[in-house]
Amino acid sequence: MNRGSSSVADVVRLYWQAVLDPETAAEVLALLDAATKADGVSPVSDHARMRLRATDEGPSWHVLARDDTGRLAGYAHLEPAVEGPAVAELAVRPELRQQGIGTDLLSAIIERTVEPDTEKLRVWSHGRHPGALRLARRFRFRRARELWRMRLDFDGEPPRPELPEGVRLRPFEVGRDEAAVVAVNNRAFSWHPEQGGWTEADLRDRQAEDWFDPEGFLLAVRTEPDGTERLLGFHWTKVHAGDDPVGEVYVLGVDPETQGGGLGKALTLAGLHHLRARGLPAVILYVESDNEAAIAVYSRLGFRHFDSDIQWAH
């Protein structure tokens, strides 16, 4: 697209790709890492990052914005609509912002996904980024969903977890626990648009990530009268390395059949102890802004709201 200006990104061309070769995927990751460093938060989700290395032509589309030198100036990930709306995330190289690249990316996504008088597209803004707000106003998006980020700075040792009688904790075992975890996860998050339909392949994709640590994937199990082991819930923790390392309550799931007995709180505290033992100064988590019950539980544990991810609807 020719802007007719003297900017360093005078000409930007967009390329749609279903699968990225390793070299292009590395380019995108470098751009995402630069945006993360500039903004303090990743511009795309874990799911989008994992799709970068996918070798199958799945539902995702990658949109690459290249300037007239061939440099990658911007990137967008689009998950086309299946049952719900299409979902997009985008990033622009920090030194090339405010030159219309984000506008080009979003315009192309809208053109491909939106039908007149329908709401078929949602776009994530991770963090309260002023550029995202400008784009939302320009294209007349409305705020549809807000995901809170909450943080706990360790000030002493958290309370000890009190497990229900007959329940014990053990770490996740690769090759053994995938099916049980997916089953509990999907029952616990049947209402959740991203979390509720996991497959074992989705779980294995995350196991392939550099940050995956089975020791930090805590399972609450109980031995049944017939000698079989039943998974009741789990707390999957994550460690964000780098200049400001921090732990995360990545996924906390409790089987609905066992909710109400204090297992969720016990699993939360067990994960906090694990992360503190790793020497981390703080822990973050994500929670829906309208989940008042969960926010109340986390607030009592010392978590405080510090930022939000906004999903905008077109």
Q: Does a structural domain hold residue 6?
A: no
Q: What local confidence, expressed as pLDDT, does residue 117 receive? A: 55
Domain membership of residue 285 as a residue range: 151-308
The reply to whether 179 and 132 lie within a common domain is: no
Q: How far is Cα of residue 193 from the mean position of the Cα atoms in its chain?
A: 12
Instruction: Give the pairing of strands 229-240 and 217-223.
Output: antiparallel
Same domain, 210 and 262: yes
**pLDDT in the model for residue 3:** 41
Task: Indicate the annotated binding residues for acetyl-CoA.
Answer: 90-92, 252-254, 259-265
Are 99 and 200 found together in one domain? no
Mean pLDDT confidence for 124-137: 91
The answer to whether residues 257 and 110 touch, using CB atoms and an 8 Å cutoff, is no
pLDDT tens-digit map of 188-198:
998 887 787 89
Stated pTM of the model: 0.86
Same domain, 190 and 294: yes
C-alpha–C-alpha distance, residues 73 and 78, integer Å: 17
Quick check: 32 pLDDT over 80?
yes
Number of domains in the chain: 2
113 and 159 within one domain = no
pLDDT in tens, 223-278: 999 989 999 999 999 999 877 899 999 999 999 988 778 899 999 999 999 999 99
Would you say residue 286 lies in a domain? yes
Residues in binding site: 46, 90-92, 194, 238, 248, 252-254, 259-265, 286
Comparing 196 with 117, the larger pLDDT belongs to 196
Amino acid identity, residue 70?
A: G
- The answer to whether residues 93 and 34 touch, using CB atoms and an 8 Å cutoff, is yes
State pLDDT tens for residues 131-162. Answer: 899 999 999 999 999 999 999 999 989 999 99
Same domain, 261 and 171: yes
Instruction: Give start and end residues of each alpha helix (H) in the chain.
Output: 22-39, 46-51, 101-113, 130-138, 178-188, 200-207, 263-277, 292-300
- Burial of residue 139 (CB within 10 Å: 0-12, 13-18, 19+) is middle
CATH of the domain at 49: 3.40.630.30
Q: Are residues 89 and 227 in the same domain?
A: no
User: What tokens does 277 get?
Assistant: 């033992």
Q: How many helices (H) and strands (E) does the chain have?
A: 8, 12
Asked if 120 and 240 sit in the same domain, the reply is no
d(CA 249, CA 158): 14
